[in-house]
Amino acid sequence: MISSYKTMQLTLLSCLLLLACNSAHSGSISKGKSLAFDRSKGNCLACHTIDDGEMAGNIGPPLVNLKMRFSTRDALFKQVWDATTINSKTSMPPFGRNKILSEEEIEHIVEYIWSL
């Protein structure tokens, strides 16, 4: 049987791990927003409306409710990586395939826009 002291230690460890994960998740969302709004990197605002984004374009759909449009985060990642695999006539650049953004940068952007 686990002692109450051991139970408290396990509970405390679980709470610390949860806090660390939430902090990392928020950091990724923050980095993703920064990249998405950066005119020299993701530049999502050139084509998409995003809440609190300034001078947004209207070529692409607004970036809202992406969980309704994409079944998984992986599907969204693939769209950002290379949208031409889904729609050969898209005007969206293949950010990953053309090395406009790194895989890590796309992960951050996906984390951010998935949260919208």
Q: What is the pLDDT of residues 86-111, one digit of tens each?
A: 999 999 999 999 999 999 999 999 99
The single-letter DSSP state of residue 44 is G
Pairwise pLDDT comparison (76 vs 52), residue with the higher score? 76
> 0.85 cut: is pTM over it?
no
- Cα distance between residue 26 and residue 62, in whole Å: 22
**What tokens were used for 10?**
């396990």
Residues shown for the chain:
116
Q: What is the pLDDT of residues 57-79, one digit of tens each?
A: 999 999 999 999 999 999 999 99
27-114 has which fold?
Cytochrome Bc1 Complex; Chain D, domain 2 (1.10.760)
Residue 92 CB-density burial (10 A; 0-12 exposed, 13-18 middle, 19+ buried) = middle
The residues near 71 (Cβ < 8 Å, ≥ 6 apart) are none
